[in-house]
Amino acid sequence: MTLQQMLPIISLALVCFIYPYNGNALTNRVFQNNGPLSLQVDQGGSYHISIDGTPWLDSHNTFFSIDGKMHSTMDGTLKVVSGPTKHSSANSKLGPYEQTDITWEATNTDKSRIITSFQVYSDISAVVFTQNFSMGGLSNTSVGNANLLCTGFPTFTVAKSMRSELGFLSYGSVFAALQDIGNWKSPVKLIGSGLYSAPLTLFNRTKHTMIISPFKEFMASSLVFDNADDIIMEGIMGNVTEIPKDFIQQTILYYGKGTGIKTSMFEWGQTLLKQYNTKRYKERDVTLNYIGYWTDGGAFYYYNTEPNKTYEQTMIDVKAEADRLFVPYKYYQLDSWWYFKGIGGGVKNWTAMPSVFPDGSGYLFKKLGYPLAAHNRYWSSDTDYARKNGGKWNFIVEKDKAMPQDAEFWDFLLRSSKEEWGLTLYEQDWLNDEFEDMKCTLENVNVARKWLLDMGNAALRNNLTIQYCMPMVRHLLQSVEIPRMNQARASGDYHPGNDQWNIGISSILYHALDIRPFKDNFRTTSANEHHPKYVSEPVPFLQTVISIYSTAPVAPSDSIGFTNVTLLNRTMASDGLLLQPSRPMMAVDAYILNFAFPEENIGIVGLVWSTYSNISGTIYGSILAIDTYSPQDVFPLDVDLPNHESFAYLDGHPENTVWFTEDKPITLSPSSSSNFQLWQTAPTFSFNGQQTWAILGEVKKLVPFSPKRFQKLEVAEVAVTLQLHAGPREKIDINIITLGTMWIATCNSEEAGTMELRITDVNKYTCKTTN
């Protein structure tokens, strides 16, 4: 190597040195550092990731399928012809970075060249790996298996010294519902792979955490895990037949700097959201903010009407019952029972069948007086909308499914539905089938992304929102380009008695991407509703608790005459506004650590989740314990809450408060789904010369200090002031502790609006409307 060839490598290095390699050669190695995260790139194209100087990951094999043959570094058919070379850039949404490029040449007839790059950022602790096809596209790339890869970069093995030191968390299946948590030394690791791959999270005992995921072209990208050789591979999915010129695929490796497993995942998610400038539409979405009635799978009226009545009359009767009980449903959901089906059970025409709504969906909308959320599934190959079948729009039509290709089709569908019958939420179900069962989505790198973007852009133009159902994780990742997709099912279908409420792990991923995790509908009573298919719901209280704490739609689905209004009232204000926490209830880090290192007594045994409500910077915690087998003492940091001096109490028993501090734990008793524990915490503060005050909040509600209710909290020298939302004709009781004595401040409203509670001393307060 000449000095001229070596200069780019020397200039790239933050630290550069020469030392014996493989016992008999001298090789230049390049280091790029960002705090504890270090990337080392070798002249031959291999690379290594270290944390605080300790190797975590080593590269394995870079490969590309070209002209029907695999070319790789391992067999010598892929070689470095240029690089590593370095350049810097400040024109990035994520801040300045240094980029290292390597140009590869394959041994095929055309001598195809591909550029791979490493971007190390100054402002975030991350490396972005890029496959760049600007020098030319690749043809005949398919390897004949969609669950493998036709390109591989980056690929990793865990460093030998870390294999017993690292735990992992992996998602897979639809809804991100199948998770595996374990230790990397385990001989069998159920890591999401291929089409159902997901971000892979690695962490050590002190919660230093690394996340590996796609960063660009989410629908065409996969992670594949080779369990036999412990190889982690990122790249383009295996059935893609052609990679066009100028196509770019990226992977991100994010390091969380020891802030915790969940917090690191949230930082990773925020990095994606910042990169794509994603601002989810949530504040004015009626389905996220108000209670609604649902007819989804598991609901009493799922493919089931009142005896001898149509769905039209049944839904009108549901509304009349809600009015009688003063249940303020603000929208109604229509599931797949309402529209025309075609070949393979797909959608032939997304309009109401006359047998369902004899007077039409517009008539139903007017009678209900509230907007509709509506379900849709995959398009059938005989759909009326396809030009091939006499329709107006271009569709890719395959054996029994079809996919729209015209953005104008989605504008027509969503605009006409909103104008004619009050559509407010478009629920796209069967996402995995539409993607996995069609050749066009598996063989082309652009079709699936265009499908979702066209849908999402039409929702934006028509001021609607989207819920994803049966999403693969790639759909959730792709939604960072689709801000009107603000919620997604995080569980399988609800059937009374199943455990699809268990969304504590999947909610971590959803929240990281700023998606509300929907647990599906639920019944509010355990009474026998005499459904022809479903049994009674054994744990309606748990279903209700998890629904309100998900921050997603709260979706009761009882038969007429069986709604537990008292229970529903604990979730909302009198106007139907959902009183939710600041973020979803999620599994605590200590629960994850226990699964990864079960023999080391460093975690919590059993399902323990937590969340908080943030009111003007003051944190009110909520802790849920389910299936804990023996008493366990937990401190605030054990349940991912701040180490503030607080009172804690069990739901329903605010009179029995206990201290909860860094040296005074609460005890989680043995619990189950029918006998769970819901703890609330309230920080103490000093006021009016008295050292120990605590506002427990509205303890009759499941979330006693919801930011939807309490919009502002201020402790000043002369008064404690709370600004709060009140519904019409509502009595709001707020429990307060002063020097160990409980008392109640009450606000009464006539109309919906904002009120101000001003406390000047024990039992001395005013509460008045301010608007």
Last-in-domain residue among 275, 305, 334: 275
Last-in-domain residue among 536, 569, 602: 569
Whether residue 297 sits in one domain with residue 271: no
Could you tell me the CATH number of the domain that includes residue 465? Answer: 3.20.20.70
Model confidence at 5: pLDDT above 60: no
Residue 643 within any structural domain of the chain: yes
- Dihedral of CA 7/10/13/18: which sign? positive
The answer to whether 327 and 367 are in contact (CB under 8 A) is: no
Residue 227 within any structural domain of the chain: yes
* CA 430 – CA 335 distance, rounded (Å): 13
**Host H or E run for residue 316:** helix 311-325
Structural tokens at position 533: 């298919």
* CA 294 – CA 302 distance, rounded (Å): 9
Last-in-domain residue among 242, 275, 308: 275
* CA 109 – CA 404 distance, rounded (Å): 38
Residue 490 within any structural domain of the chain: yes
Residues 6+ positions from 370 with CB-CB distance below 8 Å: 329, 330, 331, 332, 422
Residue 31 within any structural domain of the chain: no
Confidence grade of residue 89 (pLDDT, cut at 50, 70, 90): confident
In the block, tokens 């069967």 appear at: 430
Nearest partner of 300 among 567, 540, 574, 541, judged by Cα? 540
Whether residue 346 sits in one domain with residue 221: no
In the block, tokens 């309009």 appear at: 351
Model confidence at 352: pLDDT above 80: yes
pLDDT of residue 511: 98
Model confidence at 12: pLDDT above 90: no
Mind listing the pLDDT tens digit for each residue in 544-563?
A: 999 999 999 999 999 999 99
**Host H or E run for residue 209:** strand 209-216
3-state secondary structure of 694: strand
How many other C-beta atoms are found inside a 10 Å radius of the C-beta of residue 426? 26
pLDDT, mean over the chain: 93
Residue 629 within any structural domain of the chain: yes
Q: How far is CA 669 from CA 447, 608, 631, 634, 675, in A?
A: 52, 11, 4, 11, 10
Nearest partner of 622 among 637, 641, 607, judged by Cα? 641
Full strand arrangement of the beta sheet holding 753-761: 710-715, 720-726, 753-761, 764-769
Residue 25 within any structural domain of the chain: no
Structural tokens at position 675: 């006998």
* CA 545 – CA 677 distance, rounded (Å): 11
Whether residue 342 sits in one domain with residue 254: no
* CA 767 – CA 745 distance, rounded (Å): 9
Whether residue 294 sits in one domain with residue 160: no
What is the DSSP code string of 155-176? Answer: EEEE-GGGTTT-EEEEEESGGG
Whether residue 552 sits in one domain with residue 477: yes
The whole domain housing 228 covers: 60-275
- Alpha-carbon dihedral angle through residues 487, 488, 491, 494, given to the nearest 10 degrees: 80
Could you give the number of structural domains in the chain?
3
Whether residue 325 sits in one domain with residue 197: no
What is the DSSP code string of 86-155? Answer: EEEE---TT--EEEEEEEEEESSTT--EEEEEEEEESSSSEEEEEEE-TT--EES---S-TTSBSEE-SE
What is the DSSP code string of 583-645? Answer: S--EE-HHHHHHHHSTTTT-S--SEEEEEEEEETTEEEEEEEEES--S-EEE-GGGGT-----
Whether residue 510 sits in one domain with residue 370: yes
Could you tell me the CATH number of the domain that includes residue 131? Answer: 2.70.98.10
* CA 286 – CA 288 distance, rounded (Å): 6
Whether residue 299 sits in one domain with residue 264: no
In the block, tokens 């995959």 appear at: 378
pLDDT of residue 125: 94
pLDDT of residue 88: 85
pLDDT of residue 25: 32
pLDDT-above-70 percentage for the chain = 95
* Angle, CA 551 vertex, CA 550 and CA 554 arms, to 5°: 80
φ/ψ bin of 638: left (φ > 0), alpha (ψ from -120 to 50), beta (otherwise): alpha
* CA 150 – CA 168 distance, rounded (Å): 25
Model confidence at 23: pLDDT above 60: no
Model confidence at 20: pLDDT above 70: no
Confidence grade of residue 30 (pLDDT, cut at 50, 70, 90): low
Residue type at position 636? P
Nearest partner of 690 among 760, 757, 747, judged by Cα? 760
pLDDT of residue 620: 98
Structural tokens at position 94: 């994520």
Instruction: Work out the angle between the directed axes of helices 407-421 and 447-461 (0-180°, nearest 10).
Output: 40
**Total-model pTM:** 0.95
Q: How far is CA 508 from CA 179, 207, 264, 343, 503, in A?
A: 12, 15, 11, 38, 9
Q: What is the CA radius of gyration of the chain?
A: 28
Structural tokens at position 115: 């550029």
Residue 333 within any structural domain of the chain: yes
Instruction: Work out the angle between the directed axes of helices 311-325 and 361-368 (0-180°, nearest 10).
Output: 10
Model confidence at 7: pLDDT above 70: no
Whether residue 322 sits in one domain with residue 260: no
Mind listing the pLDDT tens digit for each residue in 104-155?
A: 999 999 999 999 999 999 999 999 999 999 999 999 999 999 999 999 999 9
Residue 669 within any structural domain of the chain: yes
pLDDT of residue 15: 31
Whether residue 196 sits in one domain with residue 72: yes
Whether residue 484 sits in one domain with residue 368: yes
Nearest partner of 373 among 453, 291, 431, judged by Cα? 291
Confidence grade of residue 86 (pLDDT, cut at 50, 70, 90): confident
pLDDT of residue 138: 98
Structural tokens at position 274: 């910042």
Whether residue 292 sits in one domain with residue 265: no
* CA 233 – CA 152 distance, rounded (Å): 6
pLDDT of residue 688: 84
